[in-house]
Structure 1
Amino acid sequence: MIPSLDALLAPHDPALLHAAIRERRMAWFRTGHDDLFRALLPWSTFNSLLGSERLLDDRTRMVRRGRDLPREMWSYLGPDMKRVVVPELLQRFCHEGLSIALNQIQHAVPGIAALVKMLEQALPARIGTNVYASFGRESAFRAHHDPHDVLVLHLHGRKRWFGFGHQSAHPPGMPLTNDRLGPVHWEQVLEPGDILYLPRGEIHRASVEGEASLHLTNALLWPRGSDLLHWLAGTGLAGNGLAADDLDRDIPVYGTATDLERCAEELRATLHRLADSIDLTAFLAAHIQKRQTRPPFNLGLSSDCAPTCWVQPLPAPDLRLPAEGGATIPFNGEEVTLDPDERAVLAALLAGGARQIASLPGPAGLDMETVRDTVARLARRSLVLLTEG
């Protein structure tokens, strides 16, 4: 369990990562947490995922020499018309430089789910996590840039990464072939326990050093201008004394040229009022509160609540709770009522990040029996995520 951004980056100061994000530049951290990172997704767990039906669904990609490998090349249709994987073929392609990508891996591995929840609380951003297993020295993915920031956690093996600067330095529409990439701006070998941050648009490629490597790629999805426009068209209207009808009424294509010009003038006036009233603080607060989280079940764990069990809060990190008594909070688009004990435990978690149950009585100001009972109630309501200690 990695309870906080401080624990993830230690011994480095998280301020270094925040500075790289603000300045839109690459950053690399060697943490020494090799055992902790390997435990996030052991090779045995990765192989068990390949043995499940996930290998054949749309969240999985097989990439070789920059191209997706059709599933017909490593599987066949059985007599019951169900596709059957041929392990020998998959092994052969791996020896020839295959990469396997399992998208949205946080929905399949509890430890990674807990990691993603922590990152979403700490940064904060919407995060989607993919795992990439690469085999052989030949890179399966060509040089490319991502439409979002990336935080790489290296789990197994070694992989050499190359950076070629920002995509804005390359003519738009020109393919990113090796002869057009220009000089390498930076080069770094990642080992287990290493973290690599790449800003949106940073052109990069990577190749395995040795036989195999495994890493997590966390896509950091920050709020964008398009999100602000949607918010202005909804909540922003009411905040400026406007009604939804001010933007939702018909554009009179059935009318005269004069009707169209009158409508254009009215829309310009409405949009000017909205633009002049932009409040990014209010928008970001609303954006974070609106974010949906997949509710965990916590089955089995909520009935035991062992002292070593980790408890991770799921409401927005900037949630303001009263100092005493109960509270009503927004969560997943609804209003949720907390009793005083639930408010106290949740406040302690939001203040200090994920904690083991044994460490909660002091910060929450409750005895251990009350803490365990309260955590169980919060878990059954999916307000916290429980992970074995």
Structure 2
Amino acid sequence: MSMARTEAQDSGARQGAGILESRLTRLGREEFARDVWGRTAVLTRGASDFSDVFSPGAVDELISRRGLRTPFLRVAKDGSTLPESSFTAPAGVGATVADQLDDTALWRAFEDGATLVLQALHRTWEPVAELVSALGTELGHPVQANAYITPPQNRGFDAHYDVHDVFVLQIAGSKRWVVHEPVVPDPLRDQPWTGHRAAVAERAAHVAPHLDTMLRPGDVLYLPRGWLHSARAQGEVSVHLTLGIHVRTRYALAEHLMRAALAELAADPSMRRSLPLGTDAPDVLTDLVRERLLAAVADADPAPLFHRAHRSGARPAPLGPLAQLAALHRLGPASPIRLREALAPRLDGARLFTRVGYLDLPADDVAPVARLLDGRVRTAGDLGLPLAGRLLRAGVLVPADR
């Protein structure tokens, strides 16, 4: 039986609550982690009013006025993706861009029953970007966002599963969702549903669904990776957001551990030696290599690779170059500054790692930089003007309003 939450809630965010509780599930982070995360599908009725995040008007603006190019949009019909050439065209005089979205072609495809998929909305629509950034910080896993716009009585894709967890936020219209339990629990990124088509089709066609429900504006559906799902719009246009959580797994940690161990073995001249001439089977040396590999794994530190992967999994908050230059030019002791958001900062000794690179700090600068990591607004004088200027130039600090 699926979990569903139907308590009434004011459309505004609960003061002091995280994104999970205030906008998506009405569950606090610890409760969500204990009872739901990666375990089961959860439907939350009336979770929030998402009109401040996305809307049908936003769809029209993005398609007709923002000059988007592929791959920021794809088009699907009857379970298949249409070729990009069918909905793109040159941008016209003064812009030698041949693959901008053609709004007329898209209108014709949409009117003919195609689903429009606006991809990577966390890069193109600021309210979605802010929601994604906050959720990613709360979960500790990278998050991205797509929007699916489906005409009445149509579907975009057949039953399938994703290799990432998702939150489905119904924005406009209604859509019927049919959800089945996994055929491949917790699939890795290189284990897509296309490698299990027959099993997916068999379960979707012949096994009773775990959940068969209608999503309406404000409803939120959470699906762990691997859970089968298909959806069909009802009597009006459906718009929903999918927030994809690209989870970091134990397997990925094992990969980091092995890479660190192999790097240690690569520095050992005895392990770089050639096998004897005429060696058809490595049995004689396997025990020795296994022993050295196990010792290297025992000594390896996967943390640097783990943190590097975490930093590369998302982008920092936007930075305006003109505002940044103006802040640098007028920098004074009273200038308000703060740490750039979504930077994933980490101090390791005197080295500051962030999503925009790393900085080696003089010993006297380590303590003031450590204080910055709480994200509070400070003044350049608190840090010292030379350090504040260096961090502004590096894109680590940004100007702040008091």
**Cα shift at 1:65:** 1.0
Show the counterpart of 1:29: 44
**Cα shift at 1:312:** 5.9
Instruction: Specify every segment of 5 or more residues in structure 1 that has no aligned partner in the other structure, as ranges.
Output: 350-359
Do residues 216 (structure 1) and 237 (structure 2) align?
no
Match of 1:158 among 174, 178, 192: 174
Do residues 120 (structure 1) and 133 (structure 2) align?
no
Q: How many angstroms apart in 2 are the aligned matches of 1:375 and 1:8?
A: 34
Show the counterpart of 2:151: 135
Assess, with a 3 A threshold, how the Cα gap between structure 1 residues 226 and 387 changes in structure 2: closer, same or farther: farther
Which deviates the most, 203-212 or 377-386? Answer: 377-386
**Cα shift at 1:310:** 10
Q: How many angstroms apart in 2 are the aligned matches of 1:189 and 1:310?
A: 44
**Cα shift at 1:68:** 1.3
Q: How many angstroms apart in 2 are the aligned matches of 1:388 and 1:250?
A: 61
Show the counterpart of 2:4: none
Match of 1:19 among 34, 40, 43: 34
TM-score, normalised to structure 2's length?
Answer: 0.70
Assess, with a 3 A threshold, how the Cα gap between structure 1 residues 142 and 118 changes in structure 2: closer, same or farther: same
- Give the 5 Å matches for 1:233-248: 233-236=258-261, 244-245=267-268
SS of match in other structure, 2:181: strand
Show the counterpart of 2:283: 261
The 8 Å contact of residues 298 and 386 in structure 1, kept in 2 or not, is answered as: no
Deviations 1:176-225 (A, max 9, x none): 44873521211233333333221111001112234222222222222335
Assess, with a 3 A threshold, how the Cα gap between structure 1 residues 219 and 161 changes in structure 2: closer, same or farther: same
Do residues 316 (structure 1) and 344 (structure 2) align?
yes
Q: How many angstroms apart in 1 are the aligned matches of 2:214 and 2:395?
A: 40
Q: How many angstroms apart in 1 are the aligned matches of 2:388 and 2:88?
A: 46
Higher relative contact order (CA 8 A, sep 6+): 1
The 8 Å contact of residues 171 and 241 in structure 2, kept in 1 or not, is answered as: yes
The 8 Å contact of residues 298 and 385 in structure 1, kept in 2 or not, is answered as: no
Show the counterpart of 1:70: 83
**Cα shift at 1:247:** 9.7
Instruction: Specify every segment of 5 or more residues in structure 2 that has no aligned partner in the other structure, as ranges.
Output: 1-11, 186-192
Q: Whose strand fraction is larger, Structure 1's or Structure 2's? A: 1
Do residues 184 (structure 1) and 212 (structure 2) align?
no
- Give the 5 Å matches for 1:362-377: none
Q: How many angstroms apart in 1 are the aligned matches of 2:121 and 2:370?
A: 32
Show the counterpart of 1:298: 320
The 8 Å contact of residues 167 and 223 in structure 2, kept in 1 or not, is answered as: yes
Show the counterpart of 2:353: 330
Q: How many angstroms apart in 2 are the aligned matches of 1:119 and 1:344?
A: 24
Aligned residues with identical type, % of pairs:
22
Do residues 288 (structure 1) and 307 (structure 2) align?
yes
Do residues 346 (structure 1) and 373 (structure 2) align?
yes
TM-score, normalised to structure 1's length?
Answer: 0.72
**Cα shift at 1:63:** 0.3
**Cα shift at 1:89:** 4.3
**Amino acid paired to 2:315:** R
SS of match in other structure, 2:174: strand
Q: How many angstroms apart in 1 are the aligned matches of 2:46 and 2:62?
A: 27
Q: How many angstroms apart in 1 are the aligned matches of 2:125 and 2:271?
A: 43
Which deviates the most, 218-227 or 73-82? Answer: 73-82
The 8 Å contact of residues 12 and 31 in structure 1, kept in 2 or not, is answered as: no
Do residues 382 (structure 1) and 398 (structure 2) align?
no
**Cα shift at 1:123:** 1.3
Deviations 1:249-302 (A, max 9, x none): 3663x7223783344233211233345x388xx646751354224353234555
Do residues 199 (structure 1) and 224 (structure 2) align?
yes
Assess, with a 3 A threshold, how the Cα gap between structure 1 residues 98 and 9 changes in structure 2: closer, same or farther: farther
Show the counterpart of 2:164: 148
Q: How many angstroms apart in 2 are the aligned matches of 1:160 and 1:89?
A: 27
Deviations 1:162-182 (A, max 9, x none): 111112499944164487352
**Cα shift at 1:69:** 2.0
Q: How many angstroms apart in 2 are the aligned matches of 1:230 and 1:243?
A: 16
Show the counterpart of 1:104: 120
Assess, with a 3 A threshold, how the Cα gap between structure 1 residues 299 and 186 changes in structure 2: closer, same or farther: same
The 8 Å contact of residues 315 and 342 in structure 2, kept in 1 or not, is answered as: no
SS of match in other structure, 1:257: coil
Deviations 1:19-49 (A, max 9, x none): 3454521122345421xx2222333333232
Show the counterpart of 1:9: 21
- Give the 5 Å matches for 1:44-55: 44-51=57-64, 55=68
Task: Say how many residue pairs are matched.
Answer: 359
Q: How many angstroms apart in 2 are the aligned matches of 1:166 and 1:247?
A: 46
**Amino acid paired to 1:203:** L
Deviations 1:322-344 (A, max 9, x none): 9xxxx642223523545655543
In angstroms, what is the RMSD of aligned CA positions? 4.5
